[in-house]
Structure 1
Amino acid sequence: MTAQDDLDLETLDFGSVEPHDFARIVKGLPTARIAELMAGTQRRRVLDEVFGRMNTRFRPDAAAGRDALIRWRITAADGGPDDVYETHIGGGTCTVVPERTDREPQLSLAMAAPEFLKLVSGNASGPTLFFTRKLKVKGDLRLAGSLTYFFDIPKP
């Protein structure tokens, strides 16, 4: 039995989980368990928490001179609606909107929830997800390759 077995993910307050602890939780869970969690009631709360923290994990020095809109589409495995967030990087800040806007993004990323959580927790690499077709990229590929440098991603 692991610590993950004792963790009640359905009632866990993800807002109280530090990024490095979140990375360890994600690392310790099988993909099927992450998919199960993200198909339930916690999905939107987890996504809102991850995207809500992006501005605190943002490294303005690494993104200096950038002005870009990134659209994230987290696909639903059960045929339900996808979740869409937009991240604007510019002027030394990172802002997030929890919906699709009419603005045209420089980069659009689409992936399933387990791959997204692995990516943002440092448990998967963007290039690997891309080359295994678990991450769909449309737009500025150089920007896509730079994203991991723009954020302080936890080490699991």
Structure 2
Amino acid sequence: MSDIDFTTASADELAAVEPGDFIRIVKQMSDKDVKQVMESANRQPIIEAIFSRMPELFRADRAGTTTATTHWSVTGRPDGGADEWTVRFADGSCTTLPGHDGDATLSLAMSPVDFTKVITKSGNPVMMFMTGKIKAKGDLGLAANIANFFDIPKA
């Protein structure tokens, strides 16, 4: 796939970007470029595409018997709010839904730039937590291992 301009692409075009292509494109972007995209009208469809792909990238063999509800907050929305999602692990599967649903085993909050670093594995989540870039409450052991539950394509 050729590179796509995340700022001007349609929601359908964004949804069609394969995870490996998404990661490759994002890793080529500067933090300033990522911030600009995440302040554009395409922020919502990009975040929705990321969370909706999580179940297909989930590796039950790596999660083992983990049962957990995680609440994600991607801060820095243009209106001052955050995009909130729930990601659940249970019975060898992963499900996602918009909003915070149920009691969280782990709550994570981060800026859009840090969120893209976490989901593309281009940042160290433990170091990001230690330096205050990621706010985590609850099961910190889960926070340290959650990225391993997903088969993140190499860029």
Say which SS state the counterpart of residue 84 (structure 1) adopts. Answer: strand
Where do 5+ consecutive residues of structure 2 fail to align?
A: none
The answer to whether residue 142 in structure 2 is matched with residue 138 in structure 1 is no
Distance between the aligned counterparts of 1:150 and 1:8, measured in 2?
Answer: 29
Distance between the aligned counterparts of 1:145 and 1:67, measured in 2?
Answer: 15
Distance between the aligned counterparts of 1:89 and 1:63, measured in 2?
Answer: 8
| Greater Cα offset, 119-128 or 139-148 | 119-128
User: AA paired with 1:124?
Assistant: G
Say which SS state the counterpart of residue 94 (structure 1) adopts. Answer: strand
Partner of 1:35: 35
Say which SS state the counterpart of residue 138 (structure 1) adopts. Answer: strand
Scaled by the length of structure 2, the TM-score of the pair is 0.91
Where do 5+ consecutive residues of structure 1 fail to align?
A: none
Deviation at 1:77, TM superposition (A): 5.4
Say which SS state the counterpart of residue 108 (structure 2) adopts. Answer: strand
Deviation at 1:46, TM superposition (A): 0.3
Distance between the aligned counterparts of 1:62 and 1:43, measured in 2?
Answer: 30
The answer to whether residue 8 in structure 2 is matched with residue 11 in structure 1 is yes
Distance between the aligned counterparts of 2:100 and 2:61, measured in 1?
Answer: 27
Partner of 1:112: 111
- Percent identical among aligned pairs is 34
Distance between the aligned counterparts of 1:139 and 1:106, measured in 2?
Answer: 6
Kindly tell me the number of residue pairs found equivalent between the two proteins: 151
Distance between the aligned counterparts of 1:80 and 1:22, measured in 2?
Answer: 26
Distance between the aligned counterparts of 1:99 and 1:132, measured in 2?
Answer: 26
Scaled by the length of structure 1, the TM-score of the pair is 0.90
Deviation at 1:15, TM superposition (A): 1.5
Q: Could you say what the CA RMSD is over the residues aligned between the two structures, in angstroms?
A: 1.6
Deviation at 1:8, TM superposition (A): 2.4
